[in-house]
Amino acid sequence: MAVYERETKTVACLECPPEPPPAAPEIASSMDALPPEASMVLGPEPQPESFEVFTGTAGASAKREYERRKVRRETRIRDDHPYLGKLILAVSDDPQSTRAWATGARGEEILGQRLDKLRLSGRGIHVLHDRRIPRTRANIDHIAVCPTGVFVIDAKKYQGRPSLRVEGGLLRPRTKKLMVGSRDCTKLVDGARKQVDLVRSALEDADLGGIPVRGVLCFVEADWPLIGGAFMIDGVHVSWPKKAVENLLKPGPVNDQTAQHIHRTLASSFPTA
């Protein structure tokens, strides 16, 4: 019994077993069977590529907030005063609460330029600017990873001389205050410490809990004395831009490979604002 295939014009016997397919050519099962040229072509297994970190733009979110408030004020005045709106805007200034955002953005830009120069100098400094704190509207101005660890830097552009005031003693509790001129700015220290805690927690979640994390309040263009002036309050360094940058250049136990890993981890934990 057989079957005739009209298309191929062949006859296949139903009782005979089908012929086995032709054997594939033998392939070498080990690297020893390959010629030296083939080993050179294969090379080592490709390693997973690390994502490129965007350092961010210093002062970007503060500048956006200033523009938003400015536009909102101008729109409100024009709507309330269709005929005199332009004149009112020409003879009046933005309120201090609006100008403060522009001032803050300028302070972040000045410090950011110094940090970027250090980053591009090839000294193993890795920087992040204007990073958003997840689930909040707050942000971290600058994060610098260097051989001595991580610095969380909050830039401020205040007028006056920063100083440490110690009050109390024998008869009442001893307290420390951060003064800028005659203004009590101690709340800035609390904010810096909270940012340090957030960065430290992010590193601990990534099994990098042993990396030192320090907080810095950097007052840009303040009335600093010619000699000295920097101090520490509740574990937070208070200094000016040049002094803050000098602290990043000190030798430490963190090698550049580990610093890059820390940099990528913090960039992922704190995205751009």
Model confidence at 162: pLDDT above 80:
yes
Model confidence at 28: pLDDT above 80:
no
Query: Percentage of the chain surpassing pLDDT 70?
Result: 81
137 or 196, which is more confident? 196
Evaluated on CA atoms 186, 191, 195, 201, the torsion sign reads positive
Model confidence at 255: pLDDT above 50:
yes
What's the mean per-residue pLDDT of the chain? 84
| Of 9-18, 24-33, 167-176, highest mean pLDDT | 167-176
| Of 51-55, 158-162, 168-172, highest mean pLDDT | 158-162
pLDDT of residue 147: 94
Coil, strand, or helix at residue 5? strand
Model confidence at 6: pLDDT above 70:
no
pLDDT of residue 36: 44
Coil, strand, or helix at residue 207? coil
Question: Which pLDDT band holds residue 272 (cuts at 50, 70, 90)?
Answer: very high
164 or 53, which is more confident? 164
Residues 109-138: tens digit of each pLDDT: 999 999 999 888 888 899 999 999 999 989
19, 16, 18, 38: which is closest to 27 by C-alpha? Answer: 38
Least confident stretch, 36-40, 59-63, 73-77, 238-242:
36-40
Coil, strand, or helix at residue 23? coil
pLDDT of residue 67: 94
Which tokens in the block code for residue 36?
């030296």
Evaluated on CA atoms 53, 58, 60, 65, the torsion sign reads positive
Please give the Cα distance from 252 to 168 (Å, whole number).
37
Question: Which pLDDT band holds residue 16 (cuts at 50, 70, 90)?
Answer: low
